């Protein structure tokens, strides 16, 4: 088996408030980092360029214009492949995630290198109720389209990808470039029988946190992604049911 090689992928779009602290926090791990600047403004772009110069293990990839979080993550995943990594720990730059859980995620991933490690958010009172309820709608569609309840939260941007399986899936389909990507990639990985391990982790909405969720664009993108996935699920239904039957027989 190929030696376990992990690095961080951090998509950034106008999130200057927490990125320096995040890089300082993960620096002691001694792991490489791919920062994907998704067309940020001059202030944030300048900061990212300065940070990349300060940290020798940070690779900065820049989109000339904003292409969406999904495309930023895909750019980071392909960059990680070029760098020879086997696994990617994606963490968002908006300060929502509990950085202390990074070590836990890495430990579980190293023990289960073929698995997708997925953050299962534990929200506090700072979560906007509309966002919380909207997540449940997406969860239901993900459970339907994957024919599984194994994916507890498909929208959490704190996760570890097994890179070989992920790149294979990326090369098989055209993905939604905005917020819908986080859910779509998981459903397609589930179709390929990738194991999921859900890791409870605290999620907050900090005072200086900036959400780039566009009510109309992203809900439309999510709807299109779920429609494509539903059609794909129906096409694969005999195969998926056979897999579930086989899995039940082995339990």
- pLDDT tens, position by position, 16-47: 999 999 999 999 999 999 999 999 999 999 99
Tens of pLDDT, residue by residue over 63-122, are 999 999 999 999 999 999 999 999 999 999 999 999 999 999 999 999 999 999 999 999
CATH code: domain 6-250 is: 3.90.550.10
Q: Quick one: pLDDT at residue 208?
A: 52
Q: Is the pLDDT of residue 211 over 60?
A: no
Q: Quick one: pLDDT at residue 96?
A: 92
Within 8 A by CB and 6+ apart from 63, the residues are: 36, 37, 38, 39, 71, 72, 75
């Amino acid at each position: 088996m190929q030696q376990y090689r992990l690095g961080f992928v951090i998509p950034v779009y106008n999130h200057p408030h927490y990125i320096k602290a995040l890089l300082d926090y993960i620096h002691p791990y001694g792991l490489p980092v791919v920062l994907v600047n998704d067309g940020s403004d001059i202030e944030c772009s300048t900061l990212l360029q300065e940070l990349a110069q300060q940290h020798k293990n940070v690779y900065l990839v820049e989109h000339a214009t904003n292409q969406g979080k999904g495309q930023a993550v895909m750019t980071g995943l392909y960059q990680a492949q070029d760098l020879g990594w086997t696994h990617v720990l994606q963490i968002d730059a908006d300060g929502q995630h509990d950085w202390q859980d990074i070590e836990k995620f890495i430990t579980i991933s190293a023990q289960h290198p073929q698995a997708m490690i997925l953050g299962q958010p534990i929200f506090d009172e700072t979560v906007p109720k509309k966002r919380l309820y909207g997540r449940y709608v997406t969860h239901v569609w993900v459970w339907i389209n994957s024919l599984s309840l194994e994916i507890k939260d498909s929208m959490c941007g704190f996760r570890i990808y097994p890179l070989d399986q992920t790149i294979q899936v990326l090369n098989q389909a055209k993905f939604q470039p905005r917020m819908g990507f986080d859910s779509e990639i998981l459903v397609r990985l589930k179709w390929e029988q990738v194991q999921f391990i859900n890791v409870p982790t605290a999620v907050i909405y900090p005072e200086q946190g900036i959400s780039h969720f566009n009510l109309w664009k992203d809900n439309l993108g999510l709807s299109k992604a779920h429609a494509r996935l539903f059609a794909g699920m129906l096409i694969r239904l005999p195969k998926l049911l056979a897999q579930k039957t086989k899995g039940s027989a082995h339990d």
